[in-house]
Amino acid sequence: MTLMLNFGIRKETNFEKHIASTYDKRFKKFGPKPEASMWFCKLRQNARFALAANHIFKNQSSGLIIADVGCGYGAFLNYLDVKYSSRNFYYNGYDISEQVIEYCKKFNSTKVQFYSGSSPIFLSDFVVMSGTYNFAPTRSAVNWENYVFSSLSKSWKRTKSALIFNLMVASETHISDGSIFYANLETMKQKCASKFGKVSVLSNHILKNEATFVIERMET
């Protein structure tokens, strides 16, 4: 059991080292642009942000704490500052790429902080992962899906209201030749429901073959 656990930890560490190296290189090449985070374009990027933000602010709560895991160069924060500038919220961004964290630290304020890491360190009302699990540094869909659920479990422990993340979806779970992870929608919903809580799926016609999953804490 200990050997299996250690093997899993090593595999996660190797995945994250590969991801960090890839995004460091892309940020050096592209700078603070969607291409640096492997987004197709800003339109699709903002469509994903809108799905998450609309859910977060639909009840117009004040003083929300938002954790952005895989924050990249701070694009979601920029979106929130433009679209929800009148809302009172606190934002914590997390990323394993040292390049983007150093860049993002210029945003630091009493309500905005950035940290190196792959999961939140503070309890947050909402934890968002926008595109965080799309790039898979492995050819094994099983290993990558295990990593995704391990990461979700860590974030779930720091989630008060809802966990929000998106994935590419297809009829069969697989990793494309371009190293993009595709999940089966119904299988992912069932696994999330069994491991965490109530699951709903958000979509936008602009985002073909994509789904945004919302896992909410069950009221007791």
Q: Is the confidence at residue 20, as pLDDT, over 60?
A: yes
**Amino acid at position 21, single letter:** S
Q: Is the confidence at residue 4, as pLDDT, over 50?
A: no
What is the band of 164 on the pLDDT scale with cuts at 50, 70, 90?
A: very high
Q: Are 45 and 51 in contact (CB under 8 A)?
A: no
Q: What is the CATH number of domain 2-216?
A: 3.40.50.150
Q: Are 15 and 147 in contact (CB under 8 A)?
A: yes
**What residues does each domain of the chain span?**
2-216
Mean pLDDT of all residues belonging to the chain = 90
Q: What is the reported pTM?
A: 0.89
What is the band of 22 on the pLDDT scale with cuts at 50, 70, 90?
A: confident
What is the band of 68 on the pLDDT scale with cuts at 50, 70, 90?
A: very high
Arithmetic mean of pLDDT, 199-208: 94
pLDDT of the residue at 105: 85
Q: Is the confidence at residue 168, as pLDDT, over 90?
A: yes
